[in-house]
Amino acid sequence: MPQIKFGTDGWRSLVAEDFTFGNVRLLAQAIADHVNDKDCSGEGIVVGYDNRFLSKEFAEAVGGVLAGNSIPVFISPRAIPTPVVAFSIKTFRTCGGVMITASHNPPEYNGIKFIPEYAGPAMPDETDKIEEKIKKITDSKDICAITKSQAIERGLWREIDPVMEYNEHVKGLVDTTAIRNAGLKIVVDPLYGAGIGYLEEILGNLGCSVETIHGYRDPLFGGGMPDPGEKNLVLLRKKVLDSGAHLGLALDGDADRFGIIDSNGEFLNPNEILFLLFVHLARTRKKGKCVARTVATTHMLDKVASFYDMELMETPVGFKYIGQCLLRDGCILGGEESGGMSIDGHVPEKDGILGSMLVAELVAAEGKSLKEIQKEFFAEFGALKSIRADLLVEQGKKMVYSSN
């Protein structure tokens, strides 16, 4: 029996080693059993996939198992980002979604995320149940799968194209007037991933001048990783400086994380972006009750929350906990240090496209560079420095974090 374990956001493994069609169908059967056991108001499952090697084929294999268990499949004919899959769950009122992606991991990896009906990352109580289902599936005879053509004949296979609805939804969450009036010049780097075309279309329709790099599918990600960290955005930095752009906006492989380059070519890490966005949202949106961050995310959010008389909610690492704060408590913003964020009014799933659009709104509304905005922020709130330290710790010596 293969070891299929959900981590902070899904199961990921090496293609052809553990991530095989057999194991993908095994997990799909466990998900189907779990969904059929649940009492949810929706019907069917959205299936999405990124630009990785064989992702489309793995997605169709998942769809074949779901349909084989009489679960309607809503599937895109092209790669779509994780936040678009989450958005589609709400749009089509399904019982959840399955996303084939290994996010920002190296190209030799692939993975599966299960997103429940509330359109946010699955909590451990659900993934534990799915893992228990896996243990009960003893051999291939327990997997009920049909072909795509059979699913179509039975009315269990529906192709969807949620791009237009998603883009309009995102536009409804940002100040489009400010962006239209700013005349922004922006360079977009989707890092060959599933986010290709989204920022380009939304920003282009708002009158921005947009240049794209790495805007085509490459399952090898140009020989690197689809991770919008500083070391992977060297070309984006060069393009911003060479073109005199106001911003460089990058996305990871499934577009649920962002990376930002300022007009001077400087990379601003997600911690720096989060507190700038928090202040902007606090000043321009209706008053929120709270803001949520993981234990590893900047405490500058605490200072801003105190200033605006909002509750600060600290969670364990993993956006699934942030998603619950957004869903349950109506936090104005939820974010993590790795570049994941979402806001009230959106799905409780991290969204790099929305994060990038909010950064564009911030620059447009202020009429200043991010470093200028940051300098004013520090003058008002003071400054804290966030540094990441990676330590090798034996499993038995690790402390279990509790938010209680």
Closest among 1, 7, 294 to 128, alpha carbons compared: 7
Strand order in the sheet with 290-294: 311-315, 290-294, 333-335, 341-343
Please tell me the predicted confidence (pLDDT) of residue 138: 72
- Per-residue pLDDT, 395: 62
pLDDT, mean of residues 5-17:
91
> What mean pLDDT comes out for the span 246-274?
97
Q: Residue 121 in contact with residue 320, Cβ under 8 Å? A: yes
**Mean pLDDT to the nearest integer, 223-246:** 97
Identify the band that residue 259 occupies on the pLDDT scale cut at 50, 70 and 90.
very high
**End-to-end CA separation in angstroms for the chain:** 35
The mean pLDDT value for 265-293 works out to 94
At 313-372, the pLDDT tens digits run: 999 999 999 999 999 998 999 999 999 999 999 999 999 999 999 999 999 999 999 999
Confidence check: pLDDT of 402 > 50: no
The pLDDT, as a whole number, for residue 50 is 98
Q: What is the mean pLDDT of the chain?
A: 93
Q: Which domains does the chain have, with CATH numbers?
A: 11-161 (3.40.120.10), 165-381 (3.40.120.10)
Cross-strand bridge partners of residue 45: 73
Confidence class of residue 398 from pLDDT cuts 50, 70 and 90? low
Q: What is the pLDDT of residue 197?
A: 98
Query: Mean of the pLDDT values across residues 23-30?
Result: 96
Q: Is the pLDDT of residue 34 over 70?
A: yes
